[in-house]
């Protein structure tokens, strides 16, 4: 669950659930994934990226632009949550090469 709150002017805060397993980067420094956990984490990351890159209703396709293990949080059930959207772009505002690059990444997942 996430709540977006406007503090002042154009500043927004996005408040999300706390995931005590931390980032994928931190988790892998101290733990080893089983084969089932690896599939669960990888599949949920791919589904998350596919959702971001796909226009749904009024939501435009979005390019994260900083996707890395430090920006993937691990939930208690080993599902991945994509985080840190500070560099994200709504692709309808930037047509052209950016969209083609994102579509190649979706096809890879």
Tokens of 26: 């931190």
Catalytic residue among 66, 77, 84, 97: 66
- 3-state SS of 26-55 is HHHHHCCCCHHHHHHHHHHHHHHHHHHHCC
Q: Cα separation of 86 and 6, whole Å?
A: 16
Q: How far apart are the first and last CA of the chain?
A: 25
Reply yes or no on whether 66 is catalytic.
yes
Residue 40 contacts by C-beta under 8 Å, 6 or more apart in sequence?
77, 78, 79
Q: Show which residues are catalytic.
A: 66
């Amino acid at each position: 669950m996430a709540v977006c709150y406007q503090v002042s002017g154009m500043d927004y805060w996005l408040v999300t659930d706390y995931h005590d397993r931390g980032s994928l980067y931190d988790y892998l420094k101290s733990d080893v994934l089983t084969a089932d956990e690896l599939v669960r984490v990888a599949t949920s990351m791919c589904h998350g990226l596919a959702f971001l890159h796909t226009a749904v209703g009024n939501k435009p396709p979005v390019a994260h632009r900083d996707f890395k293990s430090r920006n993937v949080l691990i939930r208690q059930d080993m599902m991945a949550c994509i985080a840190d959207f500070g560099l994200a772009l709504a692709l309808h505002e930037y047509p052209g090469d950016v969209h083609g690059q994102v579509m190649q990444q979706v096809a890879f997942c």
